[in-house]
Every structure is written in C-alpha cells, then in structure tokens.
Amino acid sequence: MELFWASGWSLGIGIALGLAIAGMVWAALSWQRRAETVFEPPVPDGVDTALEVIGATGVVLDSDNRVLRAASSAINLGLVKGHDVVYAPILDLVQESRDQGIALSREFELAGETKSAPPIHLLVRVAPLGLRLTLVVADDRSEMYRLDAIRRDFVANISHELKTPIGAVSLLAEALGYSADDPDQVRSFAATLAHEGQRLAEMTNDIIELTRLQSLGSIDDPEVVAIDHVVEQALSTNAVLAKNSGITLVSSAQTGAYVLGDSASLATALHNLVRNAITYSGTATRVGIGATVKGGVIEISVTDQGEGIAESELERIFERFYRSDPARSRDTGGTGLGLAIVKHVVNNHQGEVRVWSQVGKGSTFTIRLRQAQEKDIAAMGDKREIAPIDTAKSPRPAEYLATDEIALITLDEDAESMKGSA
C-alpha cells in the first residue's frame, strides 16, 4: 500500500512538472510572438501600391536588410534578387541612414550584369520607414547619362568636322592672294576651294536635316508616297556621280506600292544609301536598287559590290560621324551623317533598316516600311499615326544577316528584271 501511494505521489509530481514546463514554453512562444509584433511591424498599408506607381524603383528592407517589398522595376533592373539587394554600395548607404536617423541620397555608377553591358547610373534615396523598416528609392538615370554622352560627342564631332573645311577654306583663300600672278595655281586653288565649300555646305545641310528629323519624332501629317517615284529620284540624283565613278546603276521592276509618310525624307534616306554605295564601290561595278512587297511590308534594298563592312563595325555604322575608315571617308567627301539620317527617317516612319555586309563582297542595306492599303489611302483626309511594322521576327537594325535572307535583287548582267542607268 505504501508503494502504491509513493507511486501515485511521484506520478502527480511528474504531471505537475510537465504542465509547468508546457506553460513555460507556451509563455515563451507567446512572448516571442508579441516581440515579433512589436519589433518587426508589417509593411504599412499602401506601400505595395505606392511602389508600383511611384515612377522609380522602390524597395522596403527590414532591419536585417531583407527585402520585404520590391517594385517590379527593381527586379527588372537587377537591383533585387530574391530577398537581397544585389549592390553592396546601396546597403552601405542604408546603414549610414540608419546610423544617422535621417534620409540620405547619393548617385551611384554600378557595373552591368555582364562585362559588355553598359554601367547603370542610379540616384538612390534612402529614408527610415517606421522604427525597423527602411525605404530605398532608386531612379535609373542611365538613359539620361547616355543621351548626355551622345550630345557631348555630337558637339565635339561637329566642332572637329567643321574645323577641317573651314581651316582649308581659310588657307586656300590666303594662298589665292599670294598666287594672283599664277593662273594655273589660281585655278587649282579655286577648284580645291570649291570642293571644300561644297563639303562644308553638305555637312551643314546634313546637320540641319538630322536635327529636324530628331525633333520631328514621328510623321504627324503623312502623305501618300509612291515607292517607285522615290526609287526613280534616287537613281536620277545619283546618275552623274555614278557615271563619273564608272559605276552602273540598276533597278528592279516597279512595284506600284505606296506608303504613308514624308516623301522628302524618304527620298533623302534612299539618296544617302545610293550615294554611299557608289562612294564605296570600285570602278566598273554595279549598284542595284530593288523594291519588293511581302506580306504588306515594302522592302527597299540597295546592293553594292564594294569593299564591304567588317562584322565588328556593323553595330556602329548608324552612329553620327562614325567612319570605319576616316581617311577614305574624308577623301570621298562624306559627312559621316548619311546613315544616321537614314536611321532617323526610317524610325520616324515606324519602320526598320537592316544591313548585310561581307568584306570584299559588298553590302546590302534594306529599308522596311508598312505598305499603305487602299483603305489607308482613302482615309488620308484625317490625321493618323503610321502603324509600326511587325519586327518580332526581324533582326535589330545593323545586325549581320545571311545572304539569302537579305539579297533582294541580283546584279547579274543577264537579269531580265533589271534596267540600266548610266
């Protein structure tokens, strides 16, 4: 009996101890939950929506720099991966803001995700959000920096390019004064002076045209443009240059197709392509202009049998003042703006321009524009925007293409569809 009572007493003590321990565990867990509520408050209401509409890249961090909320732009920019901010300099700014208890801002130039990627320029603002949270807002200024760099380069290039003909004109004018008694020398200087003056005039006109196209942005009041007429203009305006260079111009049969746009701009773009083809082709070669219609898209191509362009340079040939061979370009009188004008004309028409080239074989430039349909032409009484062509399956402008994808005309002597122009 005594053993029974002893066992019962021990069991009671065990149960009591178990209940006590369980109570202590429950109390501890309850305290932890309360502590979490006190020290790790939830993200305030409305922050999610604010991050999406704020117009910048927003991120909310907890005290351990764990990402609690992030705008989709932060993920797209590569600023946030998972629950972490990728760039350590931004976290350093966050810690500095916490230590000082104030909002801070700083500009960062961060390396791209790959070696070839351009740097990312961010204006980062950091501010406390309650007791334990921090708001980080990053404004991506990469495009602004890129445009500023383009403007600086443009001004520098213009200054450099204009100095050459202006300096030449000044020197030639001075030389003419000293050679007044030598008719042959005067004629030679006068011819050179005329050449430099023409080059200066062409450069000025190209700068004005490029500025106009950049400010235009799009064709607000398009007109019906006959593609065949544009091709004929390019042939006629370059006929003398081709003849003097010993080059034969050929064109394909007429298409009867139309586009909605600006006829003068399109004529300028095609003229520049033909002029470039003639300039960089050898004597006794052919330059072809072809136009075809495929699936509602007009493709105008200019093919030459010239020296070609290296694949490494194809991405840059549409840049202003870019020359693969500066010495040769200056000898031929080019301004370095012709292809940049072509690019802007095509962009303003919601089209695209491609180029195929092979060193020693020649090049083919192709302009792609949406064909104007009868209903579009009939509705020309109302202002309308030009619908962009479908470029989903098309390469980027200035991308290297295979020959069979781009060569739209043939330069064979026996081509029945060709007609010659001296």
Backbone angles phi, psi at 401, to 5 degrees: -120, 155
In this predicted structure, what is the pLDDT of residue 131?
A: 79
Q: Tell me: the pLDDT tens digits for 289-339? A: 999 999 999 999 999 999 899 988 888 888 877 766 654 445 555 567 889
**173 against 30, higher pLDDT:** 173
Average pLDDT over all residues of the chain: 76
What's the pLDDT score for residue 302?
97
pLDDT in tens, 186-211: 888 888 888 788 778 777 777 777 77
| Cα gap 22→24, rounded to integer Å | 5
Q: Please check whether residue 40 is in contact with residue 62, taking contact to mean a CB–CB distance below 8 angstroms.
A: yes
What are the pLDDT digits (tens) for 362-374? Answer: 999 999 999 998 8
* Higher pLDDT pick, 409 / 114: 114
pTM of the model: 0.57
Separation between Cα atoms, residue 351 and residue 131, nearest integer Å: 54
- Identify residue 313 by its one-letter amino acid code: E
pLDDT digits (tens, 9 = 90+) for 141-171: 888 887 777 677 767 777 766 777 778 788 8
Task: Tell me what pLDDT residue 398 has.
Answer: 38
> What was the pLDDT predicted at 215?
65
63-72 average pLDDT score? 86
- Mind listing the pLDDT tens digit for each residue in 208-256? 777 777 666 667 788 999 999 999 999 999 999 999 999 999 998 789 9
Taken in order of first residue, the domains within the chain and their CATH numbers are: 47-140 (3.30.450.20), 143-216 (1.10.287.130), 219-421 (3.30.565.10)
Residue of 308, 336, 324, 25 whose CA lies nearest to 207:
336
330, 315 contact by CB (below 8 A): no
